[in-house]
């Protein structure tokens, strides 16, 4: 089962959006690492830019 979550991080400037994207990625990485330890999932997260809006993509593979 593959679950893909998209979080749109919007802000007025690219610099602020990038900072928000990095902060959100860090928070989700910590949360997902705890899930990975509990349920042994292979989790990868990447941040990429789509139409000047950072999107946090979390792929959870079971």
Domain locations along the chain: 2-61
Report which secondary-structure segment, H or E, holds 58. strand 53-61
The helix/strand/coil state of 10 is: coil
Give the distance between the most distant pair of CA atoms in the chain.
Answer: 38
User: What is the pLDDT, as a whole number, of residue 47?
Assistant: 46
Q: Point out the residues of the chain with pLDDT beneath 70.
A: 1-17, 35-62
Q: How many Cβ atoms sit within 10 Å of the Cβ of residue 60?
A: 18
Rounded Cα gap, residues 34 and 29, in angstroms: 9
Question: What is the structure's pLDDT at 6?
Answer: 45
Alpha helices by DSSP H, 4-53: 14-39
């Amino acid at each position: 089962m593959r679950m893909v979550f998209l979080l749109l991080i919007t802000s007025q400037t690219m610099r602020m959006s990038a900072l928000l994207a990095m902060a959100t990625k860090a928070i989700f990485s910590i949360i997902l690492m705890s899930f990975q330890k509990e349920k042994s999932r292979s989790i990868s997260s990447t941040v990429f830019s789509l139409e000047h809006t950072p999107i946090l993509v979390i792929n959870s593979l079971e």
